[in-house]
Structure 1
Amino acid sequence: MTGTTPLSPGAFALPVAILVLIVLMVLPIPTLMLDAFFVLNIAFSIAILMVAMNAAKPLDFSSFPSVLLFATLLRLALNVASTRIVLVGGHNGSGAAGKVIESFGEFLIGGNFAVGLFVFMILLIINMVVITKGAGRVSEVSARFTLDALPGKQMAIDADIAAGLMTAEEAKARRAEVATEADFYGAMDGASKFVKGDAIAALLILAVNIIAGFCLGMISHGLTAAEAAQHYITLAVGDALVAQVPSLLLSIAAAAIVTRVTDKSDLAGQIGGQFADPRSWLPVALVLGGLGVIPAMPQSIFLPAAAGAFWLYFVLRRRAARPEPVAETIEPAKPEALTIEDVSDHTLVTVELGYGLVHLVDEARGSSLVARITGVRKQLSQEFGFVVPQFRLRDSLQMAPNDYRITIGGTPVGGGQILSDQVLAIDTGDVMPQHGIHGTPTTDPSFGCPALWIAPGERDQAVAEGFLTVDPGTVVATHLNQLLRQRGPELLGPEEVRAIVDSLRERSPGVIEAITPEPLSLAALTRLLRALMADGITLAHPGPVMSSIALALQHTQEFDALIDRVRADLGAWLVGRICPPDAKLPVITLDAALESAVLGGMRDPATGQPIIEPDCAQMIGMRIGQICAEAAEGRSPALIVQPPARRALADLLRARAPSCLVLSITELPPTQPIEVVAVIGETEPAPQLASATPEVLAA
């Protein structure tokens, strides 16, 4: 059995309120209770208006359509209850329907029912013809535009996710907000009809009260026509005015909600901030002053008003010229207070900008460099499987104005020069030689493609000519992404490994206990995971990687042998990265004589790995690079070698043919079908390795 959650007391509030409304419509109530409900209705309407005006955006009051429905039902229920009391006891005088109706009938209209009728009709016209009709039209157009824009907003969210500018949780919240916005405006389109129907109902109820009061007063109670009019029409008009005032307040609240523009402040703050410009009040003062000097005009009104407008202009102008207050005074640093924080930079990745590019980080000017770099960090974190340390953006006076530089641990790894007021048009191979785009020739720093710096106004023409156009912020972010993607192991430190271990400890405590702190310390595990990342094994799914490490530790703790065993266990995953399921894996092999020459040659005394002679390394790299370049898209080949030669050849091809996966025979799954596309050294004579001199290159 599943337990049920007990309902809170607040869950019964709405059903009880609806039952009270039904009771008001059906059962007679005392006049004292009717007065209390009238006051409650007015207070409720004022509260709704205040909430609508204080909302920063329409969705901050997303329950408004439902609130409007219940407020309308409350007012109609009170109309029914008051109509019953007016018709039953109206012959007794103006106090028969309670103090509130009597006050509205006597004080507001002076006891003259004709004046009350005209006042009611004017309020009804203002409510139904002006406010309600305008709000209904705005609601209808807003609902239509919101629904039409819904697919585009969903596509924009998908694009932000693909660019790494938004996490899955942020996208889920944004989609929910977009759906709520569409539902809100659709509901407001229908809820505006409540206000219009309420105004019509008020007119009909007034007519019923007047006609029925005449009939009952003269027929049932023997009143004259004048007495019946004085009693019943006064009460009916007072009742109508009591209901019309809250209705007018709700109409204003509905109009304020649907005409609201999203802003960080409420409606009063938004209007006040936009009227705080002193330039708006000087013309007001001059016009009022000009009208005030006309002899026929009342100078006693126009001239003080002109003086007030000029005083407001003077105050706002002085406030605008006042400097921003300083929150606190910072004491100058004392020379003897120098700390390690003043001389150390603890940020791993730093993007340095020349002073001519500093404005690229100013979000107030529409620059998106900070957001794009944050997106790069999120994307790399998802690919690598650990949270990449935060990046740092800073200016450097030692650099040229338009230069930027990317450093890891203080060591420059890349950089370039950009023109911040122009757009980079990149030729990706689709541009005709006779294009009409003119600009400053350059090279795309990320991929080495020829490019032009062009004016922003020529962007559309460049796209039509086949160029790929990107803004300067995107150039820096893309270059940063390209450089860091190749240096994932350098970004993995002990703290990142500790976070991975702590996360897995909650899900697979047995696996973690078999790895660390014994037999592998945190430093040893970090070194191992770095080596696996350098071999192409990411930590996006750390569970299988850690399980393979735990199994490999049962056989050996020697570093290289441990890596080989983990790779052999994850061989199916390595192959699956480049070969679809049930497809043949394109394979390159070394000729038996060439492979024997590599294994039988000199070895590095520090690592014991084979040292490939330079001419042989150049031949293998060029041949495999040529094969990879000629391979069809999605058909990247893999080099299959003996286990002792895998690491040396992988180091060789990492720089010369990075798309070629190097696997040992033990890492190839037994069930994986293969297709040998080339045998390196089959036709080329194997170089003589026995006479290698000490001046050789370690691959």
Structure 2
Amino acid sequence: MKKADMGIALYILAAIIFFIVPIPSILLDIMLAFNISVALVILMNALFVKEVLDMSFFPTLLLFTTIFRISLNVSSTRLILNTGDPGNVVRTFGQFVGGNDLIIGAIIFVVMILIQLIVINKGSERVSEVTARFTLDAMPGKQMAIDADLNTGTINEKQARERRDKIQQESSFFGSMDGATKYVKGDATVGIVVTLINLVGGISMGMTRQGLDIGDALNQYGILTIGDGLVSQIPSLLISLATGILVTKASKEADFSDLLIRQLFGIPKVLYIVGAVLIFLGLATPLDWRLFIPLGIAFLIAGRSMDTSLGIEAIEEEVDMAEEQAEEIRRPENVVSLLQVDPIELEFGYGIIPLADVNQGGDLLDRVVMIRRQIALELGTVVPIIRLRDNIQLNPNQYIIKIKGIQVTEGEILFDHYMAMNPGFVEEEISGIPTFEPSFHLPALWITESQRERAESLGYTVVDPPSIIATHLTEVIRMHIDELLSRQDVQNLVNNIKETNPTLVEELIPKLLGIGEIQKVLQNLLREGISIRDLLTIFETMADHAATTRDTDVLTEYARQSLKRAISSKYFPANEVTSVITLDPKLEQEIMGSVKQTEQGAYLTLDPEKTKGIMASLETEIGKLENLGKNAIIITSPIVRMYFKKLTEDYFRDLIVVSYNEVESNVELQSVGMVSLS
């Protein structure tokens, strides 16, 4: 056991023992002196601590000191009533602090109680209550601010985690302080009751046991009782004062004394005015001029000194700023920072800034946070930090999206306008500025706020500019999510699943597959829009088959087959017949006959003319599905699926290619065409 643990345990055990076992007066003197010193240490810490969370255990400390102080109060009461000799400390407080007079001591005791209960404790209790409520109310806003800073790249994941932990600690601290102030209030109340009991009990003991008359008994036991009350209430007052200081600290990261002095005496003209008023009072009124005039002169001198000090500080700041600017100019360019490439960037012209500025009511940052959450739920992978920045080289209403530093798409919006799109069944036209929806390149119109309600009533789909940008960004991320999945991201996913399935991970990595090979399999799945959220199933499938093959394309096919429930629910709605295209068996044989196996993997060696014919036939069959308003889905045999997908992905990127082994048995399919060699 550590020494600190033993010390705390002994402190609490001593308090409990003092309630039960009588202690000698010399030990009581030692404990009372120790109690006063602990109270002073707590007060000084509360006064000079720079941040309230540096004393996060203060509520617990308050409970410990309160119970220890009450136990000493009980021990001193026992000694007063039993022997009439509670020790040097109690007697000195009664005679010296209380003026060796019952009335004076009682008045001092009552004043201290009133100061603690009505002034310090009442105010601390109210401040704690209000601070706790406002801290809890502000938590959602602080969390959103952290998410916004994280998405803009102002802070990293570690800093965001630290800030969230700090918010939780603040909430717990001020919530605990709201209740902990009741300890101090209860302690003061108990002090009054114990003092009254001591007084009544002492008088009774003096009259019945020692034969004293009521006056002598009142004088003897009254002074001891007042001394006991004072020696108990002074540490209690110090800790109550420490509580008030801690809950009223406005600055969390500043030197309390420097800040207080600067705020109180930091404005020279205030000191000039006060000095002049004091000198006037000394000259023009009967007040003692020997007191007020020197004091007024002292304030004038202090104002002059502060004025000079502020002037010197201003000059030093100006010189430091000039030196920093000169040093910045002389400093060689740090080219290493220029090598960093952001995975995803959204750059926009100055006209779009209000949409991203929280102070102007913009919610684009919140939408970016939701995009990352949506992708995580939908595809099971973490989207990298999305960097948002303005670019004055763009048109005011233009934005561009970059993947790994390269622009992949762009768009343009009209601020204070809405985009209205005809879903296909609206016959009545509305006036507007013709445009195209950037995500899917659908025809649309820019309309004004006044036209919005009418457009919606007619059946148009109406979206605001932030939604347009967010949708476009989401589609771009979905399209490139496979290349955004890095080895480090895969390692993070592995670490995550290892917490609950360590045996599986130890079997798979690195005995059967490396991180790079697992990355390729997950990228293959994401490239075709298959969620990797069920990572446990994917890893178990790879562990089952990696002993026979390390071909990542083949492992991908096995993984797809194990995810057939998810694939079926994604592409084939329940209780509905799905129209699909099939492959001619002869074409499948032709494709398999063209597969060449190498050490780097398999590839197709089809004749270009045959490939052209296949694409022409496929385009015709896809047209049939599009005319029916259906998605282009083609069903193949399991062994052909990946090769046919590779063959067609450069021509038809959105084509969905599914094998028979990836379809649930209860799914109903209807073939509307067959792709064959022309």
CA pair 494-268 structure 1, distance change in 2 beyond 3 A: closer
Q: Given the alignment of the two structures, is residue 202 of structure 1 paired with residue 210 of structure 2, yes or no?
A: no
- TM-score, normalised to structure 1's length? 0.68
Query: Does structure 2 retain, via aligned residues, the 8 Å contact 1:463–1:469?
Result: no
- Kindly indicate whether residue 256 of structure 2 is the aligned counterpart of residue 268 of structure 1: yes
* Structure-1 residue corresponding to 2:280: 293
- Provide the secondary structure at the position in 2 that maps to 1:252: helix
Structure 1 range deviating more: 116-125 or 392-401:
392-401
The one-letter code matched in structure 2 to 1:490 is E
- Post-superposition offset of 1:673: 3.0
Cα deviation, residue 424, structure 1: 7.2
Instruction: Supply the distance in 2 between the matched residues of 1:239 and 1:445 (Cα, whole angstroms).
Output: 82
Q: How does 1:425-464 map to 2 (within 5 A)?
A: 445-446=438-439
1:123 & 1:203 partners in 2: Cα distance?
11
Q: What residue number does 1:696 align with?
A: none
- Once the 2 structures are TM-superposed, how far is the Cα of residue 483 of structure 1 from its aligned partner? 1.0
Partner Cα distance (2:338, 2:627) in 1? 49
1:119: Cα distance to partner?
1.8
The aligned amino acid for 1:484 is I
Counterpart for residue 75 of structure 1:
69
The answer on 1:21 being equivalent to 2:15 is yes
Corresponding residue for residue 234 of structure 1: 223
Tell me the residue number matched to 2:104.
115
**SS in structure 2 at match of 1:265:** coil
Aligned to 1:93: none
Distance apart, 1:27 and its partner CA: 3.7
Q: 1:588 aligns with which of 571, 574, 579?
A: 579
CA distance in 2, matches of 1:199, 1:501: 57
**Residue 37 (structure 1) shift:** 1.0
Per-residue displacement from partner, 1:13-69 (whole Å, max 9, x unpaired)? 556444422443344332221111111111222333345456677666454444333
Distance 2:541 2:35 in 1: 70
Q: 1:668 aligns with which of 663, 668, 676?
A: 663
Kindly state the Cα deviation for residue 566 of structure 1 after the two structures are TM-superposed.
5.5
Aligned residues: CA RMSD: 5.8
Question: SS where residue 238 of structure 2 aligns?
Answer: helix
Q: For the residues of structure 1 that align with 2:228 and 2:546, how far apart are their CA atoms? A: 88
Question: Compared with structure 1, are the counterparts of its residues 286 and 10 closer, same or farther at alpha carbon in structure 2 (3 Å cutoff)?
Answer: closer
* Secondary structure of 1:128 counterpart: helix
Letter of the 1:125 partner, please give it: L
* Structure richer in helix, relative to its length: 2
Relative to the length of structure 2, the TM-score reads 0.70
Name the residue aligned to 2:479: 486
**Per-residue displacement from partner, 1:603-652 (whole Å, max 9, x unpaired)?**
998556843577755544444235456xxxxxx78543466588657976
Paired residues of 1:116 and 1:237 also in contact (CA < 8 A): yes
- Asked if the contact 1:139–1:258 (Cα under 8 Å) also holds between the matched residues in 2, the reply is yes
Question: Structure 2: which 5+ runs fail to align?
Answer: 595-602
Aligned-pair identity (%): 27
Question: Offset of 1:587 from its aligned partner?
Answer: 2.2
Provide the residue aligned with 1:3 in structure 2: none
Kept in 1, the 8 Å contact 2:207–2:217? The answer is yes
Preserved CA contact (<8 Å) 1:640 1:663: yes
Whether 1:134 and 2:123 are equivalent positions in the alignment is: yes
Displacement of 1:414 in angstroms is 1.6
CA contact (8 A) 1:622 1:656 kept: no
Change (3 A) 1:364 1:33: farther
Cα distance, 1:409–1:175 mapped onto 2, change above 3 Å = closer
1:415 aligns with 2:410: yes
Structure 2 CA distance for aligned equivalents of residues 123 and 463 of structure 1: 71
Question: After the TM superposition, which residues 413-562 of structure 1 pair with which residues of structure 2 at under 5 Å, given as runs?
Answer: 413-417=408-412, 445-446=438-439, 479-492=472-485, 507-511=504-508, 516=513, 530-542=523-535, 544-545=537-538, 548=541
Within the candidate set 13, 30, 43, 1:49 is matched to 43
Paired with 1:486 and 1:445, the residues of 2 have a C-alpha distance of 14
Where does residue 33 of structure 1 map in the other structure?
27
1:425–1:468 contact (8 Å) kept in structure 2: yes
Which residue of the partner structure matches residue 697 of structure 1? none
Contact 1:514 1:550 in 2 (8 A): no
The residue that corresponds to 2:242 in the other structure is: 253
Deviations 1:277-331 (A, max 9, x none): 95x5634542552353242262222342354356446535654672567799569
| Aligned partners of 1:588 and 1:640 also within 8 Å | no
What is the number of equivalent residue pairs in this alignment? Answer: 634
Q: Which of 545, 564, 570 is the aligned partner of 1:577? A: 570
Q: 1:542 and 1:439 mapped to 2: Cα distance?
A: 48
Maintained 8 Å contact 1:624/1:657: no
Task: Give matches, 1:25-424, under 5 Å.
Answer: 25-53=19-47, 61-90=55-84, 96-139=85-128, 188-214=177-203, 216-217=205-206, 220-221=209-210, 228=217, 231-259=220-248, 264-265=252-253, 268=256, 272=260, 275=263, 278=266, 282-283=269-270, 285-294=272-281, 295-296=284-285, 298-309=292-303, 311-312=305-306, 315-316=309-310, 319=313, 322-323=317-318, 332=330, 341=336, 346-352=341-347, 399-400=394-395, 403-417=398-412
Higher mean Cα deviation, 539-548 or 377-386? 377-386
Query: Secondary structure at 1:21's aligned position in 2?
Result: helix
- 1:74 and 1:587 mapped to 2: Cα distance? 77
CA distance in 2, matches of 1:616, 1:485: 28
Q: CA deviation at 1:228?
A: 5.0
Q: Offset of 1:396 from its aligned partner?
A: 5.8
Partner of 2:612: helix, strand, or coil?
coil
| Contact 1:384–1:488 (8 Å) recurs in 2 | no
CA contact (8 A) 2:113 2:188 kept: yes
2:599 corresponds in structure 1 to none
- Letter in structure 1 aligned against 2:61: V
Q: Distance in 2 between matches of 1:212 and 1:534?
A: 87
Does structure 1 conserve the Cα–Cα contact (< 8 Å) formed by 2:420 and 2:463? yes
Shift of residue 126 of structure 1?
0.9
Q: What residue number does 1:695 align with?
A: none
In the alignment, residue 679 of structure 1 is paired with which amino acid? V
One-letter amino acid of the structure 1 residue matched with residue 183 of structure 2:
F
Residue by residue over 1:364-406, the C-alpha shift from the partner in whole angstroms, topping out at 9 and shown as x without a partner, is: 9999878876775676577666666666667767544664433
Where structure 1 has 5 or more consecutive residues not aligned to the other structure, the ranges are 1-6, 91-95, 630-635, 691-699
How big is each residue's C-alpha offset from its partner over 1:528-578, in whole Å with a ceiling of 9 and x where there is no partner?
Answer: 654443233444445544555576677778887776565455444422434
Amino acid at match of 2:186: G
**Against the structure 1 CA distance between its residues 537 and 675, is the aligned structure 2 distance closer, same or farther, given a 3 Å change threshold?**
closer
CA 1:129–1:610: 2 relative to 1, 3 Å: same
Secondary structure (helix, strand or coil) at the match of 2:672 reads strand
User: CA offset at residue 115 of structure 1?
Assistant: 2.5
